[in-house]
Amino acid sequence: MDFSSTSISHFRVSANSFLSQYEPLALLLVPLLSLLLAHSLHSFLRLLSENGLKATLLGFIMNAVKLVPCVKGYIDAEKQKVVDKLQSDSKSKREGWNTELPSAGLGTSVLDKMREEKNNDPVWQGKCSGTVYIGGSESDGHFSVINEACSMFAHTNPLHLDVFKSVARFEAEVVAMTAALLGSKENSSGGQICGNMTSGGTESILLAVKTSRDYMKSKKGITRPEMIIPLSGHSAYDKAAQYFNIKLWRVPVDKNFQADVKAIRRHINKNTILIVGSAPGFPHGIIDPIEELGRLASSFGICFHVDLCLGGFVLPFARELGYPIPPFDFSVKGVSSISVDVHKYGLAPKGTSIVLYRNHEIRKHQFVAVTEWSGGLYVSPTIAGSRPGSLIAGAWAAMISLGKEGYLKNTKAIMEGSIRIQKGIEEIAELYIVGNPDMTIVAFGSDVLDIFEVNDVMSSKGWHLNALQRPNSIHICVTLQHVPIVEDFLNDLKESVKTVKANPGPISGGLAPIYGAAGKMPDRGMVQELLVDYMDGTC
């Protein structure tokens, strides 16, 4: 017997002798328990890495507390009170709603019924932040042009390219004209900018994320994808992360409320597929440092999406008018995709947006082609299969009817209106402007008043503004509807500030307590539950 065999035999005898003093069941359970402990530790460390020490410990504590039946019951009851308050108005209005088909149809008189219902809607003309971007009355002017265009093509569906050739041409031209606004004619763009129309900014973002994921899988073999966005990035990226199983990192913005390039850089790893910048960001109207982000993406060979949903039909014209607009489009090296809404400042009908890519190699990963289906061969470019050709026709009509001169004129009006609003707010001592807006969104907060109480008073005057967090603030997205009534807005805002200053505290029916509590609530999971419960009861 050689030395190695002797050593193995000796080790076996020694091991058996040592283990003989333990119960067989214990020998079986110890490695299993060790694996369980290692798995738990790994999960804890992963949560710690993703959420930080404070959030991780808070999550464990809250989950432990909720295991106590009486505590869970109290939390659920309090949560339901908030949900009931949010839903109280809508529940009362649901009485008498149709829950099944009428036995006899109304025929053409259904239009009278629809007009009656429409007349019960809140007045939106001029007093909604964003929402309606077209100026004037909905019965004439630009409204009438797009309404007639939509009506003319209400029956069409671009899924059937061979039948509705006119709609196919409209979509191609809308995409090409938009691409030309965003650098497709520049040599630095590569001359291959391509894209599709979608149902809105969210779908454009979803497609850009999905395409980036699949492109980076084919290019780098990434199978556990991650993307990085600033805190100011749109919530559509959270939706994309859930839909497409992508790890999402949200990083804080810098002191100027712009994407923090260094913070984004620290989160890049071998699984990163995408970073994101906005031009401008929805909360504060501030353009992220697109050139710096582009260089960062190029250096790591990853995708870079620019969210131009708000700015796509303003920034090109504002730059031409002489406003100090930093680079933001495909002329910037590293930009791989862009989303831009035509139904905002493009003044097209609602439900029209565009997703653009630097080249066809990237965009091909957006498509879904099916060959093993008894229904035949199938290929679709967007999330939707059938799409409303009426909206595509309406977008084409909007762009062609306005032309470059029309967009320049509109941009001048809304940029000037935004500056007037910003200056007016700066003159109100109790308020401050959040950051330095680059475009037509003006966000403002207060260090001495509850800004959400101010918002509630403004709501009682008919204004519909957007409540923000981090920091607590509200904003107005200036549209053509606001241009004639800038002074009305500022006067109502001054009066609202005076009202809150003289009588601090929530007003009856206001949402300030809910917004305030949500902002201070450390358990963000509970806030998520509130939002889901509220949405679950809406229909």
Mean pLDDT over 23-29 rounds to: 73
Q: Is the pLDDT of residue 226 over 90?
A: yes
Read off the pLDDT band of 107 (50, 70, 90).
Answer: very high
Mean pLDDT over 127-145 rounds to: 89
What is residue 83's predicted lDDT score, i.e. its pLDDT?
Answer: 61
Q: Is the pLDDT of residue 13 over 80?
A: no
Q: Is the pLDDT of residue 78 over 90?
A: no
* Least confident piece of the model among 13-27, 51-65, 313-327: 51-65
Q: Is the pLDDT of residue 90 over 60?
A: no
Find which of 223-227, 370-374, 503-507 is predicted with most confidence, using mean pLDDT.
223-227
* Least confident piece of the model among 111-125, 327-341, 426-440, 509-523: 509-523
Alpha helices (H) along 125-256: 141-152, 165-181, 201-220, 236-244
Instruction: Tell me the Ramachandran region of residue 351: left when phi exceeds 0, alpha when psi lies from -120 to 50, beta otherwise.
Output: left
What is residue 76's predicted lDDT score, i.e. its pLDDT?
Answer: 66
Q: Which residues contact 227 (CB under 8 A, 6 or more apart)?
A: 209, 212, 237, 241, 246, 247, 248, 249, 272, 273, 274, 275, 276
What is residue 282's predicted lDDT score, i.e. its pLDDT?
Answer: 95
Mean pLDDT over 481-489 rounds to: 96
Mean pLDDT over 84-107 rounds to: 76
Q: Do β-strands 473-477 and 441-445 pair in parallel, antiparallel, or remain unpaired?
A: antiparallel
Mean pLDDT over 340-356 rounds to: 97
Q: Is the pLDDT of residue 24 over 60?
A: yes
What is residue 160's predicted lDDT score, i.e. its pLDDT?
Answer: 86
CA distance 418 to 395: 25
What average pLDDT is seen over the chain? 88
C-alpha distance from residue 231 to each of 20, 307, 517 (Å): 59, 14, 20
What is residue 509's predicted lDDT score, i.e. its pLDDT?
Answer: 60
Per residue in 311-320, pLDDT (tens digit) is 999 999 999 9
Nearest to 475, CA basis, from 440, 506, 509 = 440
485 alpha carbon, distance to own chain's centre: 29
C-alpha distance from residue 379 to each of 367, 373, 382 (Å): 7, 11, 10
SS3 content of the chain, % helix, strand, coil (to 5): 50, 10, 35
Mean pLDDT over 477-499 rounds to: 96
Read off the pLDDT band of 428 (50, 70, 90).
Answer: very high
Read off the pLDDT band of 91 (50, 70, 90).
Answer: low
What is residue 33's predicted lDDT score, i.e. its pLDDT?
Answer: 79
Q: Judge whether 276 and 229 are in contact, CB under 8 Å.
A: yes
Q: Is the pLDDT of residue 514 over 80?
A: no
Nearest to 467, CA basis, from 444, 490, 485 = 444
What is residue 105's predicted lDDT score, i.e. its pLDDT?
Answer: 92
Mean pLDDT over 369-386 rounds to: 88
- Structure tokens of 219? 């290019």
Nearest to 476, CA basis, from 452, 442, 512 = 442
What is residue 512's predicted lDDT score, i.e. its pLDDT?
Answer: 60
* 0.95 exceeded by pTM: no
C-alpha distance from residue 343 to each of 110, 146, 234, 244 (Å): 27, 11, 17, 26
What is the set of domains in the chain, with CATH numbers? 150-401 (3.40.640.10), 403-538 (3.90.1150.10)
* Least confident piece of the model among 27-36, 403-412, 472-481, 497-506: 27-36
What is residue 92's predicted lDDT score, i.e. its pLDDT?
Answer: 59
Q: Report helix, strand or coil for 307.
A: strand
Mean pLDDT over 140-153 rounds to: 93
Mean pLDDT over 425-444 rounds to: 97
How much of the chain exceeds pLDDT 70, in percent? 83
Q: Is the pLDDT of residue 149 over 70?
A: yes
CA distance 449 to 430: 7
Mean pLDDT over 397-419 rounds to: 97
CA distance 420 to 412: 12
406 alpha carbon, distance to own chain's centre: 28
Q: Is the pLDDT of residue 59 over 80?
A: no
- Structure tokens of 261? 């390039």
CA distance 439 to 287: 8
What is residue 88's predicted lDDT score, i.e. its pLDDT?
Answer: 63
CA angle at residue 212 from 211 to 217, to 5 degrees? 100
Nearest to 259, CA basis, from 223, 291, 214 = 291
CA distance 358 to 506: 50
Residue 151: count of CB within 10 angstroms of its CB:
12
Q: 529 pairs with which residues across the strands?
A: none
How much of the chain exceeds pLDDT 90, in percent? 65
Per residue in 243-301, pLDDT (tens digit) is 999 999 999 999 999 999 999 999 999 999 999 999 999 999 999 999 999 999 999 99
Per residue in 29-41, pLDDT (tens digit) is 777 877 888 777 7
C-alpha distance from residue 240 to each of 203, 205, 248, 310, 441 (Å): 9, 8, 9, 19, 25
CA distance 416 to 413: 5
